[in-house]
């Protein structure tokens, strides 16, 4: 699972072997955005010398440009909006995505859905925005995403991430997740009502409505039913769902409510036996319940009298597992907080539960 620096450091590049080419402002902006993201990441085992070489190689591409597509494909944001938004989380999405190619124009602003991919429970799609006026450095969408397959009283999660790549040009990734999205094909409905700036103020009105369908990738499910517990906190991995672009871990957690700590949360560190760590794409909390020792349920911790236990279940979606990995190691982290009661000063404590090890078939 090589990242950008490793790909560039592995490449045997002699700048004299390439013809100097003109590079557009859009391409320069894209590469700069990727480099900024790269510089913010903390990678185990990186050396300053290696990083400097990788950075120099990236900057060189903005000046020279490559005339060979094999090298261009190693630069994650050339023709790949998924990588332009986040090269770590969406590393191999484009290879398995479906071309959509629908454009809607309103009030001088054209929005195009480029590609989409459906991993069996979540739809991801890329889009571009081109405007005849300046919308600002940071923008967001007042939009609503749904699907025909979602039940009337069903639950879902939607989201968008947008990056400015040139003057009046933006790229974005949107997603829609729901337990109801389990058919071989999903029919997505995306409505955009207005565009907002970084302060949440309206910069453009309009109506951009999209309907598109996308089929599911080939997926596998592995039943796990392993748990790790300590001092009343219990984390159980029920199953893991694998697709070509993602890995989904289904969990059930239980932890006690104490008078010392008034809030508790379990988060996950997921890695493999090769040393790769897997960032979270989306987290879905299906249910959250407070119960006392008699089995009575309460809507809040306060209603339970700050006693009893919290039960929750859901899933986390992560990037796809490395093809050479033979084990997945999941480390539950228990976070304890003290911040909800006015008399309780803010505090935090973290402890790690025993690893849950999953053998890959």
β-strands 280-291, 297-298: how paired?
antiparallel
Other CB atoms within a 10 A radius of the CB of residue 3 amount to 17
Buried-exposed string 197-229: b where 16+ CB fall within 10 A, e elsewhere: eeeeeebbeeebebebebebbeeeeeebeebbe
Res 100: pLDDT: 93
Q: List the pLDDT tens digit at each of the 361 positions of the chain.
A: 444 444 444 445 454 554 555 554 444 444 444 444 444 333 333 222 233 333 333 332 232 222 222 222 332 333 577 766 665 667 678 788 889 999 999 999 999 999 999 988 889 999 999 999 999 999 999 999 999 888 867 778 888 889 998 889 999 999 998 888 888 999 999 999 999 998 899 999 999 999 999 999 988 989 999 999 888 889 999 999 999 988 999 999 888 776 666 677 788 999 999 999 998 888 887 777 888 777 777 776 666 666 678 888 889 988 889 999 999 999 998 887 765 555 555 557 788 899 999 999 7
The CA R_g of the chain, rounded to the nearest whole Å, is: 23
Res 53: pLDDT: 32
pTM of this structure: 0.67
Res 25: pLDDT: 47
Dihedrals phi, psi of 27, to nearest 5 degrees: -65, -40
Buried-exposed string 251-286: b where 16+ CB fall within 10 A, e elsewhere: bbbbbebeeebbbbebebebbbeeebebeebbebee
* Rounded-to-integer distance, Cα 318 and Cα 121, Å: 13
Is 102 in contact with 113 (CB distance < 8 Å)?
yes
Res 343: pLDDT: 54
Res 228: pLDDT: 93
- CA angle 316/322/323 to nearest 5° reads 130
User: Which residues lie closer than 8 Å to 280 by C-beta, 6 or more apart?
Assistant: 268, 316, 317, 318
Is 174 in contact with 158 (CB distance < 8 Å)?
yes
Res 259: pLDDT: 65
Res 212: pLDDT: 96
Other CB atoms within a 10 A radius of the CB of residue 6 amount to 14
Residue 298, token pair as written in the block: 């309460």
CA 360 to chain centre: 23
* Rounded-to-integer distance, Cα 131 and Cα 162, Å: 14
User: Which residues lie closer than 8 Å to 14 by C-beta, 6 or more apart?
Assistant: none
50 to 36, 43, 73: CA distances (angstroms):
16, 12, 21
Of 236, 233, 264, the residue nearest 249 (C-alpha): 236
User: Which residues lie closer than 8 Å to 20 by C-beta, 6 or more apart?
Assistant: 63, 64, 65
Dihedrals phi, psi of 222, to nearest 5 degrees: -120, 120
User: Which residues lie closer than 8 Å to 91 by C-beta, 6 or more apart?
Assistant: 1, 76, 82, 83, 319, 320
Q: Is 169 exposed, middle or buried (0-12, 13-18, 19+ CB in 10 A)?
A: middle
Res 80: pLDDT: 72
Identify any residues that bridge with 213 across adjacent strands, giving them in sequence order: 187
* Rounded-to-integer distance, Cα 224 and Cα 330, Å: 12
Residue 208, token pair as written in the block: 């951009």
- Please name each of the domains of the chain with its CATH number: 4-78 (no CATH), 94-215 (2.60.40.1630), 220-359 (2.60.40.1640)
Is 156 in contact with 146 (CB distance < 8 Å)?
yes
79 to 75, 109, 256, 283, 351: CA distances (angstroms):
9, 21, 49, 28, 43
Map residue 138 onto helix, strand or coil: coil
């Amino acid at each position: 699972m090589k990242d950008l620096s490793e790909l560039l450091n592995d490449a045997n590049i002699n700048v004299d072997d390439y013809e100097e080419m003109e590079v557009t402002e859009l391409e320069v902006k894209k590469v700069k955005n990727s480099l900024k993201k790269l510089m913010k990441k903390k990678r185990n085992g990186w050396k300053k010398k290696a990083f400097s070489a990788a950075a120099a190689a990236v900057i060189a591409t903005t000046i020279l440009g490559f005339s060979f597509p094999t090298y261009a494909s190693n630069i994650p944001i050339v023709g790949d909006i998924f990588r332009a938004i986040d090269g770590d989380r969406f590393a191999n999405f484009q290879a398995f995505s479906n071309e959509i190619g629908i454009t809607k124009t309103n009030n001088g602003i054209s929005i195009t859905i480029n590609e989409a991919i459906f991993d069996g429970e979540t739809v991801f799609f890329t889009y571009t925005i081109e405007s005849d006026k300046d919308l600002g450095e940071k923008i967001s969408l007042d939009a609503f995403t749904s699907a025909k397959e979602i039940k009337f009283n069903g639950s879902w999660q939607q989201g968008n991430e947008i990056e400015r790549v040139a003057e009046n040009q933006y790229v974005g990734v949107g997603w829609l997740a729901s337990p109801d999205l389990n058919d071989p094909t999903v029919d997505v409905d995306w409505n955009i009502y207005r565009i907002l700036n970084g302060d949440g103020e309206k910069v453009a009105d309009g109506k951009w409505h999209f309907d598109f369908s996308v089929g599911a990738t080939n997926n596998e499910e592995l039943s796990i039913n392993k748990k790790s517990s300590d001092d009343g906190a219990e984390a159980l991995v029920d199953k893991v769902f694998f697709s070509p672009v993602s890995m989904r871990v289904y969990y059930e957690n239980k932890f006690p409510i104490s008078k010392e700590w008034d809030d508790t949360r379990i988060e996950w560190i997921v890695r493999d036996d090769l040393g790769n760590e897997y960032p979270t794409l989306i987290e879905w909390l299906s249910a959250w319940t407070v119960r006392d020792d008699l089995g009575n349920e309460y809507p809040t911790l306060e209603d339970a009298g700050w006693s009893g236990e919290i039960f929750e279940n859901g899933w986390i979606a992560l990037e796809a597992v490395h093809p050479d990995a033979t084990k997945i190691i999941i480390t539950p982290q228990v976070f304890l907080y003290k911040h909800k009661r006015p008399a309780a000063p803010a505090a935090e404590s973290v402890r790690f539960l025993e690893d849950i090890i999953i053998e890959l078939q």
